[in-house]
Amino acid sequence: MKANPVFSLYIPTKLIFGCGEINKLSSEKLPGKKALVVISAGTSMRKYGYLQKVLAQLRLNHVETVVYDKILPNPIKEHVMEAAAICREERCDFVVGLGGGSSIDSAKSIAVMACNDGDYWDYVSGGTGKGRPISKALPIIAIPTTAGTGTEMDPWTVITHETAQEKIGFGCPLTYPTLSIVDPELMVSIPPELTAIQGFDAFFHAAEGFIANCATPISDLYALEAIRLLYKYLPVAVADGQNLKARAKVAWASTLAGMVESTSSCTSEHSLEHAMSAYYPQLPHGAGLIALSEAYFETFRHDCTKRYMKMAEVMTEKKSNRASDFIDALVTMQKECKVKDLKLSEYGIRPNDFPRILQNARDTMGGLFTLDPHPITDDEILNILEKSYR
């Protein structure tokens, strides 16, 4: 970050945070009278009663609902287009994303396509996207049941074009949620491994945003507090998912990391992971980031010595004297959360994929490479992929 920064802050989302706060949905002023409620194709939203609770709260607020329940863990364009058509046919006037980042991201993209013609990729920038501007989107309400993406407090939505094998982040002021309700009680059912993988996604939003060359004084505040909270409480939440204090701390850290996404940016670690899961959609986003992280952050160790030391200090609560203290703390955190030995090979990735992963990352999410601490070379990227592979 420059010594005399110039920056702006714009997060137009109303946030309601806390255990039991989902009940505020029945009394909040909502942006419409008929909602498309977007959930995943999995069973958890119904199994744990989250969908029923949200539908009941909306009914109490005199809102009609239509449910769309096909969203995949790595959401695809086909479902965005299908749900947007249903949204128009049913004359829904706002969209509710309920679940993980995939459902909320999809809700944002559906809100765009409910109001715009053509194909979703007409509006996406990067890859084969045409980058057309959008002037209208339906209002969005975000209700996360996982702690990881922070999408409830940023405008970004990540969707995969399944035939082009492009996974691209997109967003604009219209894709900020109007209202976000973060209730940690909706997160106690997440199993340990997913708790860890999702929590590390939030961690890397904060850590990448802290070393990005567009970091600002406000994003630094958000990032360091998110890093501190996750280092302290994510292992607790992984070990005991019923620990509401730990769940709440991790949820708040994830929301803070989303605010980092609104005031700074991810760096090319996210570009590389998007490319990997574009080709291998069964790879969870957070798992890919964890696998890359040690080699990735080692690449920039000499560019960000003071920033690495600062992150190490908020994590360990000890004085740091070298940049590698951060990488050591990161590895310790991975071990405590039992995700240190994730294997990219188990998701189908092979070393001969590395060149096309590199090229896909540059073609689809090339903008993030401009925010790295130094311009990363193709040789450095291949080295990261090779060191991360097992």
Q: What is the CA radius of gyration of the chain?
A: 20
Read off the tokens for 151. Answer: 């999408």
The pTM assigned to this predicted structure is 0.97
Residues of the chain with CATH 3.40.50.1970: 14-186
Q: Does residue 170 have a pLDDT over 80?
A: yes
Q: Which of 268, 321, 324 is nearest to 296 (CA)?
A: 268
**What architecture is domain 14-186?**
3-Layer(aba) Sandwich (3.40)
The whole-angstrom separation of Cα 261 and Cα 265 is 5
| Tens digits of residue pLDDT in 252-307 | 999 999 999 999 999 999 999 999 999 999 999 999 999 999 999 999 999 999 99
Give the pLDDT score at 141.
98
User: What number of residues does the chain have?
Assistant: 390
Q: Give the contacts of 289 (CB within 8 A, at least 6 positions apart).
A: 200, 201, 204, 269, 270, 273
Residue 98: both structure tokens together: 């309920």
Q: CATH 1.20.1090.10 occupies which residues in the chain?
A: 192-389
pLDDT tens, residue by residue, 73-125: 999 999 999 999 999 999 999 999 999 999 999 999 999 999 999 999 999 99
CB-count exposure of residue 379 (10 Å: 0-12, 13-18, 19+)? exposed
pLDDT band at 6 (very low <50, low <70, confident <90, very high): confident
Quick one: tokens of 361? Answer: 């990352």
Give the separation between CA 185 and CA 194, rounded to whole angstroms.
16
Cα 372 from Cα 268, distance rounded (Å): 7
Distance of CA 207 to the CA centre of its chain: 13
99, amino acid identity: G
- φ, ψ for residue 129 (rounded to 5)? -65, 150
CATH H superfamily, domain 192-389? Dehydroquinate synthase-like - alpha domain (1.20.1090.10)
pLDDT at 69 over 80: yes
Residues 6+ apart with CB under 8 A from 147: 184, 187, 190, 195, 198, 199, 202, 237, 247, 250, 251, 253, 254
Residue 152 near residue 178, CB atoms below 8 Å: no
Query: What average pLDDT score do residues 237-242 get?
Result: 98
**How far apart, in whole angstroms, are the C-alpha atoms of residue 327 and residue 335?**
12
| Mean pLDDT, the chain, integer | 97
pLDDT band for position 330 (cuts 50, 70, 90): very high
